[in-house]
Chains A and B, each alone.
Chain A
Amino acid sequence: MIEWTNAIIQGVLLGGLYALFAAGLSLIFGVMRLVNIAHGDLIILAAYMGLSTTILLGVHPFVALIVVIPAMALLGYVLQRGILNHTLGPDILPPLLVTFGLSVILQNALLEIYTADPRKLPGGAIETASVDLGGITLGVLPLLTFGIAVAVIAGLQFMFYRTSLGRGFRAVSDNQDIAQLMGLNKAHVFGLAMALALAVVAIAGILLGMRTSFDPAIGGGRLIFGFEAVIIGGLGNLWGTLAGGVILGVAQTIGAKIDPGYQILAGHIAFLIVLAVRPNGLFPRVEH
């Protein structure tokens, strides 16, 4: 019994990481209806940026965030203004295909620079540190990851509903043309949204890299986990996304408990069940 409780708690903590994968995806879709197929590869790019920073500067991966977050945010802004803004419109094909092309480019560029060898970020003592809670041992890193995920989502929620930047995001999300008439430059607002999304991606990438080994080919899988968390939680609801991540994480750890080969499959099946039973997700945003 305690083993199953343990599996569920580990799954909840894993869900924090998936919610971080998903938060950027959710933000971008909410603001500009863009689904970024390269999202997972950007997470892996952030992990590699963290790797290079830790090696070059000899710092801990958490310190590397000081470099990786601004770098990814800048990349996001430039990417959005330089390429992605030109793909937005009534037709869904251009953004989809351009980000798909971007995904292939990123994967192969990383392969060219870092080779296909699996790498890991050196987390030091925190990787093995744990706390004991009545027979259940919790890793400090997964706990910290979950805490960061909650903080990031709370921060995004606050930003979205309490700041002028968030008001801009909501305005272009509701009606781009009227927002433009009200003096917002939508190209700039979209750039800021992508910058913010990739700042979250930077955090997700570093935490992923400390938790498991990574290689250039695993981006697609991370995109899928993020996407599943978004759909399970319900489109447009950030706290729902966290819940979606948790459900996905728990499904995976329970699947792995039954048979290690079923871990990822169990997550996909949980997603398909939610899609069959509640097509709008478990906590869809109420339409005003």
Chain B
Amino acid sequence: MSGPVVTRSTRASRFAMVIAGLAIIVLATAPWWAGRAEIRLMGEIYLYLSLACLWNLMAGYAGLVSVGQQAYVGFGGYMLFALTIFGGLNPIVAIVLGALLAAALSVPIAALIFRLKGAYFAIGTWVIAEVFRLSFAQVQSLGGGSGISLPVAIVKEIGARKAAREANSYWLALGAAVLVIGAVYLFLRSRRGLALTAIRDSETAASGLGIDIWRTKLEVYVVTSAFTAIIGGLIFLQKLRISPDAAFSVNDWTAFVIFIVVIGGIGTLEGPIIGTLLFFALREVLADFGTIYLLVLGLVAIVVMLKAPKGVWGLIRDRFDLELFPLSYRVRKDKE
């Protein structure tokens, strides 16, 4: 039988999946071959990668440009502390429960801020994050404005000894990154992902095809909030200390993430991965220069946005017609 066939996967994408699978296995063994500093750095990379994928899903696909995701990072972090200290829960259980609470909280928040359009939505999300920061600063039992450390007994639940604890938080971070990328990938391949991609390309046309735009965006916002809270919990499980300013920092949890996605390539799955690697490479190179590093980062992001709005991955994809995560459909002549 011959004739044109429609497929999603390509040779490059199948090859990439095999490489990714091997890479995950190799990375999972890192605690046995990498040093402590590398383990910490790699754990941080996975968590930033997850935040970047989540922000990209919101901004790049659902058109929800938020500068307030630190609300959920901080909320997830604070729930870890509150639920373990006062609820006596296991840290992992606390993080998962924190994510469910974040999802529940994000529904009324969405009902409010979805009334704001475009860029005003962005600042609205920032207001929400500030409300979170100021509210948690009022909770004296969580250390008020100066913050609180995770009690030793709870820290020991992650691992009795330091090496075991660091390995466990490393695996949690790696697992979270794989989970987030996998979930976003499967979501985008699903029927709902198709609806989302249609909204990205044209809201008017998508609405004409019967897609409930408000509902689709709400689903993305709620799911992203829950996952962001999980990542927040894991971030502060690594740090072992939380304060309102660190938990709800717009620079750490939103500015960097936005730069990662923009530089890597917004609206693609590969973009955040490339962006995260470039971001950490730049950070390691410029680490000794303090604030200069942030100046350079801001400049790079502006230049990329103006000169190559599709980011580094956009350039590669246009040049080589490459797609590592097979999301689009291709028509091909059947060889058989």
Binding site for B on A (CB under 8 A): 34-35, 37, 83, 86-87, 92-98, 100-105, 107-109, 111-112, 220-221, 223-224, 227-228, 231, 261-262, 264-265, 268-269, 271-272, 275-276, 279
Contact = CB atoms under 8 A, between A and B. Distances in A.
Given A94-B306, A228-B127, A101 B266 contact: no
Given A98-B302, A269-B131, 10 more contacts: A97-B302, A101-B302, A104-B251, A104-B294, A107-B294, A111-B291, A231-B120, A265-B134, A265-B135, A275-B115
A87 B305 contact: yes
Given A37-B122, A104-B255, A231-B116, A97 B298 contact: no
A35 B251 CA distance: 19
A272 B112 contact: yes
B295 interface: yes
Nearest to A86: B306
Given A112-B292, A264-B130, A272-B127, A83 B306 contact: yes
A101 B299 contact: yes
Nearest to A272: B112
Contacts of A103: 298
A279 B305 contact: no
B67 interface: yes
B306 A96 contact: no
B105 interface: no
For A34, A228, A272, the residue with the greatest tally of chain B CB atoms inside 10 Å of its CB is: A272
Decide if the interface of chain B is mainly helix, strand, loop or mixed: helix
B18 interface: no
A101 B112 contact: no
8 contacts: A35-B123, A83-B302, A94-B306, A104-B251, A223-B123, A227-B127, A231-B116, A231-B120
Interface string B54-95: 000001000001010000000000000000000000000000
A272 B299 contact: no
A105 B127 contact: no
A92 B178 CA distance: 31
B65, B67, B302 interface centre (most CB from chain A within 10 Å) = B302
A83 B126 CA distance: 24
Given A104-B255, A108-B291, A272 B131 contact: yes
B115 A92 contact: no
A173 to B, nearest CB: 16
A35 B298 contact: no
B295 A102 contact: no
B142 interface: no
Given A101-B299, A105-B295, A112-B292, A271 B122 contact: no
Contact of A220 (B250, B292, B297, B309): B250
B302 A265 contact: no
Given A95-B119, A220-B250, A100 B138 contact: no
Contacts of B295: 104-105, 108-109, 112
B163 to A, nearest CB: 37
Given A93-B266, A112-B291, A268 B120 contact: no
